[in-house]
Structure 1
Amino acid sequence: VYVASTRNPNQVYDLAPVSDLVDRSDVSPVGERYLAEFRPLIPIRSRFMPGCLYLHDLAMVGGRLYGNAVGENSVVRIQDDGRAERAWWPRCIETSDGPIFTRNHLQLNSIAAGADLKKSFFSASTDRLTNRRPSHRNFPVDRRGVVFSGASRDVIARGLTRPHSARLSAGTLWIDNSGYGEFGVVEAGKLEPLVKLPGWTRGLCFHRGVAFVGTSRVIPRFRQFAPGLDVDSSICGVHAIDVAKGTILGSLSWPVGNQIFAIDWLPSSLSRGFPFRSDRKTPEQERVLFYAFNRETRKGAA
């Protein structure tokens, strides 16, 4: 499991399930049964990268890890040794002096992963290079957002507002239209909304005909970026949506929550989540786990 941190410096964390403990004479087998059953995720590596990349979405494309380098208007291939190599960028950043990688102009922030980059799609807040950039309060956003084709590197859909979380599912291109709190399908060059949700839509995954869509509160100083939302009533939550019927099956909200950046699902056979709860302190189990965790399953273990 890979998780990106956009702060300076950027980091990509690798998480992996733990199945049992190393056989040690100085460790009591505290919680071994729990480890075998729940296979909790723990960090096994962190790769540091320049903060100017401003990494956002991560995606596996053709068996390799890619990320949106929002600060460079490009998509980068993330190497095992920590290097980030530019692999794709939209045609609109190309000038007579070469592509513009030196500042964030587009907010190129998500990857709808196909079999390769040419079969993938990418969302951005604009396709125009201007003196106003996505972090500026007077950056125009309403219906300026676009989706790029990986193959042509040109725009294939317009009329979005601060889009995020483009995803391919069953041959259909879906997206969160964040500035209006919408989730829908990209068809015939535009968004066809399926549902409108009470918050800044960001984070999207699919499982068995159900879309899981995240909503975030709108940060007050960025309310101008959400012209289609009731900013003061926006909530932080995850919503399960029947994509065939367009109905909300249920929602999980956090009354004191704030931001959701990404959503994905894991099979429970791989892992059932993180090892500990923030509201339940287990210092001895924590000490033992991080002292003697073992990623290899012993013979005969569950």
Structure 2
Amino acid sequence: MTEQSEDSADEKIPQRPLKCRLQGNFAAWLHRSGGSLAITTYTSGKLVLVGSTDSKLAINAHKFARPMGMARNGSRLAIAVREQILTFRLQDDGKFIPERTYDTGKVNAHDLAFGRRGIYFANTRFNCLARVSDRKQFVQCWLPPFISTMFAQDRCHLNGLGMQAGSPAMATAFCETDEKNDWRKEDRFTSGVLIDVARNEIVARNLCMPHSPRRYRRAWWLCNSGHGSLSRFDPSSSECQEVCALPGFTRGLCFTGKYALVGLSKIRPKHILDAPPVRARHGELTAGVALVNLSTGKQEGLLEFVEGGNEVFEVAFLRDVKEPRLQHEKET
């Protein structure tokens, strides 16, 4: 069997209704938090909104074409979908209504973030960090030090974008290469890198398909995805130290209080993102969102996707929005 391309994966999976179940402390925590969650399920083409009312969870799924990166900034929510970045604005009643559409073309946008100069994203197809533009499909902001020029071909699988003080600060990639499709080689299980954007240098190596670099509590965190890990970067040793091992391909990360919310995926065997290391640790993988206590490094709860959502890309905590709703442009 040949490996499937990441771009075509969502076209090959039958669409099924989303079914969820809760484990541990997840429901109680979400009710206490005063907020809600937004989750992109990527291959199954859903944006999942998880709210809490009267100690019960309300889960709604909205169909989008390949939703991936997502970011919130105050009343604004941005979502990267196929060839577009969509923005929504929050109303007083908890509904996100369409605000703006940016046509980016086939950039395979992964992580997304609001910054000082607009909306930034990991432009995976062109091996760069970019931001949206009113005049053209995107503006290139930064190239990794090992990429010679901007190519319209995925060479290193640059996927993760971490912001600090309103500017791009960290990035993740599967490898440090300037050759076409090198990221698909078997050494992707040990060739992943964390890159300091401002210093333009690699600060950690030997990662397994890393994603989701995030700044929180004066530290850098990321998903060492192929190991199923939530990890913290230690600049003194240039290592990413495992904080919690989870039963899935970890991708998608946000924080609130003493907790991390980590996206989990079931990666199919022979898929380009298949991860033997996490399979060896856990055998059967889980899809959904894990609740991790940063003080103890323990998983305290889980929102599990039993059906209809096998691969999570991003999870965002919607602070002060207990019952989120979303309106598509075609809705009246």
Q: Residues 74-94 of structure 1, C-alpha deviation per residue, up to 9 Å, x if partnerless?
A: 000112456310011111112
Which structure has the higher relative contact order (CA within 8 Å, separation 6+)?
2
Output the CA distance in 1 between the equivalents of 2:320 and 2:147.
42
Give 3-state SS (helix, strand or coil) of 2:260's partner.
strand
Which of the two has greater helix per residue? Answer: 1
**1:142–1:275 Cα change, 3 Å:** closer
Aligned to 2:163: 113
Say whether residues 1:57 and 2:57 are aligned partners.
Answer: no
Q: Which amino acid aligns with 2:240?
A: L
Task: Please give the TM-score of this superposition, normalised by the length of structure 2.
Answer: 0.70
Give 3-state SS (helix, strand or coil) of 1:67's partner.
strand
Provide the aligned C-alpha RMSD in A: 2.4
Structure 2 gaps of 5+ residues are 1-76
Output the CA distance in 2 between the equivalents of 1:227 and 1:195.
18
Output the CA distance in 1 between the equivalents of 2:108 and 2:238.
28
Aligned to 1:260: 312
CA apart distance, 1:238: 0.5
**1:154–1:13 Cα change, 3 Å:** same
Output the CA distance in 2 between the equivalents of 1:132 and 1:18.
43
**1:224–1:149 Cα change, 3 Å:** closer
Q: How many residues align?
A: 251
Moved over 4 A (4+): none
Say whether residues 1:157 and 2:204 are aligned partners.
Answer: yes
Does the 8 Å CA contact 1:146/1:155 hold for their aligned counterparts? yes
Q: 1:196 aligns with which of 227, 245, 251?
A: 245
Q: Residues 276-298 of structure 1, C-alpha deviation per residue, up to 9 Å, x if partnerless?
A: 8xxxxxxxxx9xx943xxxxxxx
Give 3-state SS (helix, strand or coil) of 2:164's partner.
coil
Q: Residues 193-252 of structure 1, C-alpha deviation per residue, up to 9 Å, x if partnerless?
A: 011111110000000121000101102332774121228611111111111210112111
Output the CA distance in 2 between the equivalents of 1:74 and 1:131.
14
Greater gyration radius: 1
Q: 1:243 aligns with which of 271, 294, 304?
A: 294
Q: Which amino acid aligns with 2:225?
A: S
Output the CA distance in 2 between the equivalents of 1:210 and 1:113.
19
Output the CA distance in 1 between the equivalents of 2:97 and 2:78.
11
Structure 1 gaps of 5+ residues are 20-35, 277-285, 292-302
Output the CA distance in 1 between the equivalents of 2:245 and 2:121.
28
**1:74–1:219 Cα change, 3 Å:** same
CA apart distance, 1:128: 1.9
Give 3-state SS (helix, strand or coil) of 1:255's partner.
strand
**1:41–1:81 Cα change, 3 Å:** farther
Output the CA distance in 1 between the equivalents of 2:181 and 2:79.
30
Q: Which amino acid aligns with 1:156?
A: V
Output the CA distance in 1 between the equivalents of 2:249 and 2:190.
15
Does the 8 Å CA contact 1:141/1:225 hold for their aligned counterparts? no
Q: Which amino acid aligns with 1:4?
A: A
Task: Please give the TM-score of this superposition, normalised by the length of structure 1.
Answer: 0.76
Output the CA distance in 2 between the equivalents of 1:56 and 1:199.
19
Give 3-state SS (helix, strand or coil) of 2:146's partner.
helix
Output the CA distance in 1 between the equivalents of 2:100 and 2:210.
31
Output the CA distance in 1 between the equivalents of 2:142 and 2:311.
28
Output the CA distance in 2 between the equivalents of 1:263 and 1:142.
24
Aligned to 2:70: none
CA apart distance, 1:116: 4.5
Output the CA distance in 2 between the equivalents of 1:184 and 1:205.
13
Q: Residues 254-296 of structure 1, C-alpha deviation per residue, up to 9 Å, x if partnerless?
A: 1112111111111225x732258xxxxxxxxx9xx943xxxxx
Aligned to 1:174: 221
Which of the two has greater strand per residue? Answer: 2
**1:223–1:82 Cα change, 3 Å:** closer
Does the 8 Å CA contact 2:162/2:215 hold for their aligned counterparts? yes
Aligned to 1:300: none
Q: Residues 138-184 of structure 1, C-alpha deviation per residue, up to 9 Å, x if partnerless?
A: 44212110011111211000110100111010110000011111111
Question: Between the two proteins, what is the percent identity of the paired residues?
Answer: 25
Give 3-state SS (helix, strand or coil) of 1:106's partner.
coil
Aligned to 1:142: 189
Output the CA distance in 2 between the equivalents of 1:195 and 1:224.
21
Does the 8 Å CA contact 1:176/1:201 hold for their aligned counterparts? yes
Give 3-state SS (helix, strand or coil) of 1:71's partner.
coil
CA apart distance, 1:112: 1.1
Q: Which amino acid aligns with 1:144?
A: S
Output the CA distance in 1 between the equivalents of 2:326 and 2:109.
26
Q: Which amino acid aligns with 1:252?
A: L
CA apart distance, 1:46: 2.1
Does the 8 Å CA contact 2:268/2:274 hold for their aligned counterparts? no
Give 3-state SS (helix, strand or coil) of 1:230's partner.
helix
CA apart distance, 1:60: 1.7
